[in-house]
Amino acid sequence: MNDVQQPTAHWRIVLAFVLDLITFIVFGFLFAKLLAGLAENGISLGSVLVAVLLIFAYLVVSKRFGLTPWRRILGVRS
């Protein structure tokens, strides 16, 4: 048996990054809108800070478990 791990295809790495970015944008906007509401002229600074903190928590948890959810789904290994 050969235990050598094959390198991950570049398209999977790029796709995982793009899907993570889309996830950050969508969830960031939803959290900002739901938790702090929209200000008169757009999203308030407080809601943006909450969204940034939640995204940071997402990255910390992902780092703790080794992969982001999209990297895990697409089979991307670091």
The per-residue pLDDT string of the chain (78 residues; one tens digit each, 9 = 90 and over) reads 566 677 778 888 889 889 988 887 787 777 767 765 555 666 667 767 777 787 788 778 877 777 788 888 888 876
Would you say residue 1 lies in a domain? no
Instruction: Look at the chain and report how many structural domains it folds into.
Output: 1
Would you say residue 16 lies in a domain? yes
Give the separation between CA 31 and CA 17, rounded to whole angstroms.
21
Would you say residue 3 lies in a domain? no
Would you say residue 68 lies in a domain? yes
For tokens 């982001």, name the residue.
68
Percent of the chain as helix, strand, coil, to the nearest 5: 70, 5, 25
Q: Whole domain around residue 45: which residue ranges?
A: 10-74
Q: Is the pTM of this model over 0.85?
A: no
Would you say residue 58 lies in a domain? yes
Would you say residue 4 lies in a domain? no
